Amino acid sequence: MSRKIALHASYFSDNFGDVLLWEIARDMIFNSSSEVSVTDVNMPNNLRDTYTADSKELKGVDTVIFGGGGYFCPPSGSPLKWRMRNYIRHRAALDLANRVKSCVFLGVGFGDLQGTLLGSKIKSIPSDKVKLCALRDEESVKYYNSLTGKSSGVICDDLVLGWLTTQGGRYSPDGYFGIHTDFKNMSDQRVSNIISYAKEIKNSYGRIRIIVDCPSKSGKLSAQKVSNELGGKVDILTFNGNTKDFLNGISECSAIFTTKLHVGICAASMSIPVVSYPTHTKTPRFYRSVGMENSIMDDQSIDKILSIVSEPNKFIMSNDVSSRIKNNFKELSASLTEAIG
C-alpha cells in the first residue's frame, strides 16, 4: 500500500542550498521505498510561502517530513521579524504533523525557540508521532530536547554534507579561487573587510571565480560590486536552478572563501580547501562538527585566506571524518526507511 508523504523543506527563496536540500530529501524518500508518493509543499517548484493544513493536495497524507535546512534556527540579527515570518511559513506543516499518522525531522537545524509561537507548535506534536528526529548538529539536539522535554533528538550530518561526501572529492587542483558572498544586511565595515580580502586573494592568486548562489537582486549586486572592485576579467558563476551545473562550477575551484553555509559545505565535501567568514551562528557549528575549526576566520585572521593555498590540508576534512560521514549517511537512510514504514 502506497504511503503519501508531505515534504516541507527549508525553501525560502530559489537559492542553491535550499533547492539542493529539497532535491536530496526527495531522493532519500523515494530511495527508502517504492511504495511512496510525495507532495511538495512550501517548495521551489510552486513558489509559495504558505499553504493550509487542509489543502486538497494534502488529503490522505500519512507522514510529514521536515527535510533539511536551518528553518528552526533563529538568525543572530532581526530575531523578532524572523520568528513571525517563520511561524506563518511553517505553522501549517506543524498543524498537519499533529493530525497525520507520523512525522520526521530529517537533517533540520534547531535554535532557541523557548517561549515562541513556533516553539509551542513543535512542542504540541505528540512524541509517539515523531518516528525519527535526526538533527544536523549537537546544538540542535540540545535545543530540541530542551524545548520538548524529550530526549528523542539524535545527531545526523547536514544532508548536503552526507550526500556529497558519498560522491567523493572532485575538485580541480589548478582551478579558480572561489569568492562567495552576499552583502544583504551586512554592516558597511563587514562589506569593506570582504572587499579587502577579495583584493588580497586576487593579488596573491590571480584566477578568481565569484560565486552567486541565489539569483536575487542582492546576490547579483554583491557579485558586481566585488567584480568592479577587483577590476579586470573575473569569472562569475551564478545559480540558475540547475544544481548539477552549479556543483560542477564549485568543483572547478581549488580553494573557496565564503560567508554563507552550503557552498562551504559543498567545498568541504569535495575536499576543496575552504575558509569561512560566517554571518550566521549555524555556520561555525558546521565547521566545528567536522573538525574544521581552522576554517573559521574573524576580522583579524586574513592570514588564513593567504595560507589556504600554501597549506591546503589545514582547511579540509580529514579522511577519518569523511569515512564517518559516509557511514552516517547510510545509517540515516536506513533509519528513514524504517520511519516511513
Q: What is the CATH number of the domain that holds 256?
A: 3.40.50.2000
Residues 297 and 188 in one domain: yes
* pLDDT reported for residue 174: 84
pTM (predicted TM-score): 0.90
Q: What is the pLDDT of residue 157?
A: 93
Residues 180, 149 within the same domain = no
Let me know the angle formed at the C-alpha of 68 by 25 and 166, rounded to the nearest 5 degrees: 60
> Are residues 118 and 53 part of one domain?
yes
Residue 165 in domain: no
Same domain for 183 and 305, yes or no, is yes
- Cα separation values, 245 from 56, 210, 211, 248, 292, Å: 35, 15, 13, 5, 26
Same domain, 109 and 24: yes
Q: Are 9 and 110 members of one domain?
A: yes
CB 116 within 8 A of CB 79: no
Q: What is the pLDDT of residue 214?
A: 86
Q: Residue 220: its pLDDT value, please?
A: 83
Q: For position 22, which CATH number holds?
A: 3.40.50
- Asked whether residue 278 is domain-assigned, the answer is yes
Structural domain count, the chain: 2
- For residue 210, what pLDDT is reported? 94
Q: Is 139 in the same domain as 196?
A: no
CB 251 within 8 A of CB 242: no
Looking at the DSSP bridge assignments, the partners of residue 133 are 105
- List the chain pLDDT tens, one digit each, 341 residues: 689 999 988 766 678 998 899 899 999 999 998 889 988 776 544 444 456 666 777 888 999 999 988 788 877 666 777 788 888 888 888 999 999 999 999 999 998 999 999 999 999 999 999 999 999 989 999 999 999 998 889 999 999 999 999 987 666 778 999 999 888 878 898 889 899 989 988 988 889 999 999 877 888 888 889 999 988 788 999 998 899 999 999 999 999 999 988 999 999 999 999 999 988 878 898 899 899 999 999 876 777 888 888 899 999 999 999 999 999 999 999 999 999 98
Could you tell me if residue 216 is inside a domain? yes
136 and 187 together in one domain: no
CB 330 within 8 A of CB 22: no
Task: Work out the angle at residue 308's Cα, subtended by the Cα atoms of residues 302 and 311, and round it to the nearest 5 degrees.
Answer: 125
Identify the pLDDT of residue 171: 67
For residue 47, the model assigns a pLDDT of 42
d(CA 308, CA 303): 9
Nearest to 259 by CA among 196, 161, 181, 191: 181
Answer yes or no: is 238 within a domain. yes
Residue 298: left (phi > 0), alpha (psi -120 to 50), or beta?
A: beta
Tell me the residue range of the domain where 227 lies: 176-318
Q: Look at strands 102-110 and 253-258 and give their pairing.
A: unpaired
Are 186 and 132 found together in one domain?
A: no
What lies within 8 Å, CB to CB, of 250 at 6+ separation is: 178, 211, 237, 256, 263, 266, 267, 270, 272
